[in-house]
Amino acid sequence: MVNVFVVPQWFFGYDVALELLFSIITLLVALYGFKLYKLCNEKQFKYFGFAFLLIAISYFLQSIINVMIIYDLNTKLMSLMSFQFLYNLTIFEIYIHTLFFVVGLLLLTYNTFKIDNLRVFYLLFIIVMLAIFLSFNKVFMFYLVASVLLLYLVVYYAINYFSTKKTNALIMFIAMTLLLFSTLHFILAVNHGVYYVLGHIFEFIAYLLIASELYLVNRYSKNICAVTHYGKKKR
C-alpha cells in the first residue's frame, strides 16, 4: 500500500518550485563538501558531499516528475487510463525520491561514525531498504526511517555543539531539527494538507541554514584543514 499526500490546491505548483530550489541548494552544499575534500583530503567531507548530492538528485527527480504530473493534469482529459498513468507516475516518484533521499541520510549518519569501513554502510543500506520496500505502507515507513535517522543526527549535532560551542555545530543542530520536524509533518500530511505545506517550509529553512553553514566553513577552510590535520597527527 502506498499513500499519496493531500496537497492544498493553492499550494499546487509551489511545492514543485520549492523541490527544485531544494535540489539547487543541496547541490551547492554537495559542491562545498567536495571542495573541502580537495583542500583537506578528508573522507568525511567527501561522504558529506556525496550525501547531499544524492539528496539533490532526489529532489531534482521529484520536481521533474511532478512537473510531468501537473502537465498531464492540465492537458489531458481525465479518463481511467490517464488516472492510472498519473497514479503510477506518482508511485514511481515516491520510490525514486525515497531511494536517493534515504541513501543520502544514511551517508550522513555513517559519516558521524568516524570509521572507514563501507561494509557498515552497506549493512545499514540493506536493512533500511528491506524495511521500507517490504513494508505494507512504504510512504509511512520511509518517513519513519528518515525520522529515526534525523533524530540520531539531531542528537549527534546537539552533543557536538554543547561540547565545542561552535556556531557551525549549532546551525547544523537547528537544521537537522527542522528536517526532523518536516518528516514528522509529512507523516501527518497523508490526511491533512496544511502539514504538507509546513513540511516544505521547514525543509526550506533547514537547507538554507545548511548552505549558510557550509559557506562559513568554506570561508575558513584553510583553518579547518589545519585543525583536522593537527588532530590526525596527535592521534
Residue 191: the pLDDT is: 56
Q: Which spans in the chain are helix H?
A: 14-40, 43-75, 80-111, 118-133, 138-164, 167-188, 193-219, 221-234
Question: How many CA atoms does the CB half-sphere of 134 hold within 13 Å?
Answer: 6
- Tell whether the model's pLDDT for residue 150 goes beyond 70: yes
- pTM for the predicted model, two decimal places: 0.83
List of domains in the chain = 9-234 (1.20.1070)
Confidence of residue 83 (pLDDT cuts 50, 70, 90): low
Helix, strand, or coil here: 216? helix
pLDDT at 3: 45
pLDDT above 70: percentage of residues in the chain: 78
Residue 89: enclosing H or E segment and its boundaries?
Answer: helix 80-111
Contact 176, 146 (CB under 8 A): no
The tens digit of pLDDT for each residue in 3-39 reads 455 566 666 677 788 889 999 999 999 998 898 888 8
- Nearest by Cα to 142 from 110, 203, 99: 99
Nearest C-alpha neighbor of 73 from the set 9, 17, 18: 9
Q: How far apart are CA 155 and CA 105, in angstroms?
A: 14
* Among 10-19, 120-129, 162-171, 219-228, the range of highest mean pLDDT: 120-129
Vertex 219: Cα angle to 221 and 55 (nearest 5): 80
For residues 203 and 115, give the distance between their C-alpha atoms in angstroms, rounded to a whole number: 29
Model pLDDT, residue 167? 84
Q: Nearest to residue 63, comparing CAs of 16, 114, 3?
A: 16
For residues 195 and 65, what is the distance between their CA atoms, to the nearest angstrom? 22
Judged by average pLDDT, the poorest of 50-59, 64-73, 204-213, 224-233 is 224-233
User: What single letter denotes the amino acid at residue 199?
Assistant: G
